[in-house]
Structure 1
């Protein structure tokens, strides 16, 4: 059957607020570098007050959202389910998705503001994130858009959505709807914070997934191993296909019972925000378009490499041009 959409994403609807900071700023704020922390509205206000004199870059975001934005810029057809606040940030988010040609299925609620993710970039290009979920944290089974799922070839979701029981229940139910309708499922672990604190919820989704995305640390944490080789072997017993990103060492993709090694491209890293999301976009594009996994991996690796060489989670280069160079090679 011909589906209207190639991918339906379920994820957080966040406004990314990006700042360049120093290690001393992190120390002053008592933050652990490179990790994501969930904060309250009052904590986020305090943080923004501290940062008010620094330049800020604003964009619509959320992990799965960033992947689907890149996916659509490669030429894919996507829909996205999320919850936003009835406020200026919610309007900004909705307008941007409309401009990008992504079918946005958003519930706008008055009781909570649109979620924000403050991304702090240190001189070593690492990113530390403080997320106030706001409206998007209220996602529950009443917000499931069954029609959006059913008209897609693949459902893609993020580990971050599993950090509350109501949200996790909605994601798990959405995955069940997908599986009942022969729709493929892919999930990204998102962060070691998720594998360490919400493992049970993550396992329920992973066990029904056709493809999993994780980095080296997340793979080791989830499989409770001590090195990436053991983690990869453990993942082979759990999920049919997966990709493990290894930073400057490239990535390992397990596809159709074979390991494919994809080298990283040589770039000077400026900001690692969005590297994993960009990588996932390339692989997802390859899966739904029927590319060889070698080509999908090269598209993913090249795009992720290019995005870390600039500031911000969105690749500023022409996605179609990049895609065509790799796909036609």
Structure 2
């Protein structure tokens, strides 16, 4: 039976503009960065690192927003709640997202910090090292929540990155309560191991309280959450508290556990990895689009794998190929 909800997914996340530049390993080393990681930086460091970067491409990003962009490309109905400032990058972000058909009406902040940006260094092996200035995005407060919008979505999707700031954490906690009151499902992506390390107790409390219906994690995040060194042990431990657990493992593929039933798919073959930025975001997009379409768990995982493959074969987190056509080629 088709859903009567206005949206398939409404997401809350960081509203960020990505600044992407090629870099060699020497720059990563000279800056003292950990290749493939994400760190938070202040305005001064953002200015200094930007000056050290080579020629860059600017495009809207943000984990949850990337997922919605992918879902919109797959024909799903989506809405976004996030904070930008009244500045040029804020206008860029808003235009980029709404032009894809994603509903985004959160009022821009008139004062305070500028729109967030993520400085991304992409090394020849396709790894991305992210340096994020959260700016206005972390100031998303309860007053910016749209209760009606949340109630009109089958799934509320939350980005773990936004759990770091007090204001946005309180807003997301209230959003969970609003979704629950409306009888909607809540999906959560852990985002990064540093997020899990900082908020493990919160996340474990939320899973134990059954506040999360769908949990997305990569292998490293899952191990950090479970405080285990073995993937299978961690998988079983966390799956016991989450109705649907989806774990990605890079070239090892992905696995989903739902109601005690396990489904696995292999990674989709790819000739060259260009840039891994947004791989997890687009995997979630394909998976959630499959759920909205009523597909089997194996098909949902495959859709996620196809979308992840497409995104790592290009520069940037927003698909430059026809995702709907690529999924159709794979699944019919």
Normalising by structure 1, we get a TM-score of 0.96
In structure 2, the partner of 1:254 is: 257
TM-superposed deviation, 1:96: 1.4
Partner of 2:12: 10
Partner of 1:295: 299
The answer on whether the counterparts of 2:81 and 2:104 sit within 8 Å (CA) in structure 1 is yes
| 1:326 CA displacement | 3.6
CA–CA separation in structure 2 for the residues paired with 1:278 and 1:81: 18
Cα distance in 2, alignment partners of residues 327 and 262 from structure 1: 13
Indicate the larger mover: 17-26 or 73-82: 17-26
Secondary structure, counterpart of 1:107 in structure 2 = coil
Tell me the distance in 2 between the aligned counterparts of 1:213 and 1:223: 14
Pick one of 227, 230, 236 that aligns with 2:233.
230
Shift of 1:327: 4.1
Is residue 199 from structure 1 mapped to residue 203 from structure 2 by the alignment? no
Name the residue aligned to 2:123. 122
Partners of 2:228 and 2:124 lie apart in 1 by: 31
Matching of residues 182-197 of structure 1 within 5 Å: 182-197=183-198
How far 1:204 moved relative to its partner? 4.5
Given that residues 306 and 327 in structure 2 are in contact (C-alpha distance below 8 angstroms), is that contact kept between their aligned partners in structure 1?
Answer: no
Stretches of structure 2 that go unaligned for 5 or more consecutive residues are none
Contact 1:250–1:263 (Cα < 8 Å) also in 2? yes
Q: Is the 8 A contact 1:262 1:297 kept in 2?
A: yes
Listed one character per residue, the Cα deviations across residues 174-233 of structure 1 (whole Å, up to 9, x for unaligned) are 011101111111011000010111223333544411111111000000000001111111
2:211 corresponds to 1:216:
no
CA distance in 1, matches of 2:82, 2:206: 18
Count of aligned pairs: 326
CA offsets 1:131-171 (integer angstroms, 9 cap, x no match): 10111011121211111101111100110010112211110
Partner of 1:61: 61
Deviates more, 1:32-41 or 1:64-73: 32-41
Aligned position for 1:38: 40
